[in-house]
Amino acid sequence: MTVKVRLNELVAYLDELFDISVWEPADSSLNGLQVEGAEAVERIGFAVDGCEQTFRMAVDSGAQMLVTHHGLFWGKPLALVGHHLTRVKVLLDAGISLYNAHLPLDFHPQIGHNAVIARLLDLETRGPLVEQSGLPIGTLAEAREPLALDEFVARIDKRLDTACRVLGFGPARVQKVGIVAGDGSKLLDERLARRLDTFLTGEESHTLYHFAREFGINVIFAGHYATEVPGLMELASHLAGRFGLQTVFLPAPTGL
């Protein structure tokens, strides 16, 4: 049975699910509907990056809507010229809507990347890692029993389909873990390090090397792309269950 949902209904639901308006002052990525396409949606595509590659994959998949974590705009509007026009034209020609969820998807307490990563790693969530301007950032998680660091890293590699790089300056056994998908390097400071034995993020950071060494904490870099897939997969499952829509994940890994 084919199920179609009106675009405006889906957008309203996603805006409410992610509290889009709450995140607006803190996020420059223009969360919400970025490109308006067909009035009815039967299939939704999901991709980490909004780029020509994933837009063309969305066309090939037969999707009427694409949800991304990294959309088309960062900080300011861009003129529709050159390659930016090429990207947008792919969507417009196919009648595909683009919906973007950046920080709201990172930090959602159930569907967000960090919360889903904690579940995938069999960790118990203890709430947000920190709060900034009243907004919950990251996930504090705990292993039921301490795990050997190499065992924990192997679990991450397998369940996130990645190859971690590790700064193993903390305890040999992991229990208290801070999780920030993508690039969480700016969040880690001395005060936070005292609450953790291990910090898991995506993108590698040169500046964290000496920090991790001096304050005796393990830092695990699991890949920016790899850590920003889980929330999208969870969202796809959620929307399929809520609306009965067809969903498809469009992989375009960068290896970074």
d(CA 218, CA 169): 5
* Residue range 24-33, pLDDT digits in tens: 878 888 999 9
Of 247, 204, 256, 243, whose CA–CA distance to 47 is shortest?
A: 247
Place of tokens 């223009």: 30
d(CA 137, CA 71): 20
Q: What angle do CA 238, 241, 247 make, to 5 degrees?
A: 70
Quick one: pLDDT at residue 25?
A: 79
Q: In degrees to the nearest 10, what's the CA dihedral of 58, 62, 64, 68?
A: -20
- Domain at 5-102, CATH class: alpha beta
- Domain at 113-225, CATH class: alpha beta
Residue type, 98: L
* Residue range 203-248, pLDDT digits in tens: 999 999 999 999 999 999 999 999 999 999 999 999 999 999 999 9
User: Are 124 and 142 in contact, with CB atoms under 8 Å apart?
Assistant: yes
d(CA 79, CA 224): 28
Residue 123 has pLDDT above 80, yes or no: yes
Question: How confident is the prediction for the chain on average, in pLDDT?
Answer: 95
Residue 135 has pLDDT above 90, yes or no: no
Quick one: pLDDT at residue 68?
A: 98
Residue 158 has pLDDT above 70, yes or no: yes
Give the total residue count for the chain. Answer: 256
- Mean predicted confidence (pLDDT) in 80-97: 95
Tokens (6 digits) for 39: 């009035």
Residue ranges of the domains in the chain?
5-102, 113-225
Quick one: pLDDT at residue 67?
A: 98
| Per-residue confidence band for 194, with pLDDT thresholds at 50, 70 and 90 | very high
> H-type helices in the chain, by residue range?
7-17, 20-23, 52-61, 82-94, 103-106, 113-120, 149-160, 190-193, 208-215, 224-227, 230-243
- Mean predicted confidence (pLDDT) in 164-179: 97
Quick one: pLDDT at residue 1?
A: 66
Task: State what percent of residues in the chain have pLDDT above 90.
Answer: 86
Q: At what angle do helices 230-243 and 7-17 cross, to 10 degrees?
A: 130
Quick one: pLDDT at residue 54?
A: 98
